[in-house]
Amino acid sequence: MKKNTLLIVAALLIALSPLAHASLESGAHQFKEDVKSAGRQTGHAARDAAHAIGDGAKSAGHAIADTSKRGYHATKKWVTGEE
């Protein structure tokens, strides 16, 4: 009796082995897709942050250049006596 039960359990495990393998393969594929998606989102966030920093630096540079230009012209007018 014990031999029959052992054989039935062994046969059942052998029969279910491909299903377990398919489930593992599906899980691994889903994990891979999740990792790729997370990497893509991280890359996009880094790109957006870099663009925001670049735009801020560009705006600051333009503001400094504009202020310097106005200061130069104001000083020039004051020195030459033009108005």
The larger pLDDT score, comparing residue 24 to residue 72, is at 72
Q: What is the reported pTM?
A: 0.54
Residues 6+ apart with CB under 8 A from 83: 77
Strand, helix or coil for residue 7: helix
Region 17-24: what's the mean pLDDT? 67
Q: How confident is the model at residue 16 (pLDDT cuts 50, 70, 90)?
A: low
What is the chain's mean pLDDT, rounded?
A: 85
- Return the amino acid letter for 19: L
| Residue 73 to residue 57: CA distance in whole angstroms | 24
**What is the tens place of the pLDDT at every residue in 39-68?**
999 999 999 999 999 999 999 999 999 999
Q: Spell out the domain ranges in the chain.
A: 53-78
Q: Phi and psi for 81 in degrees, rounded to 5?
A: 80, 15
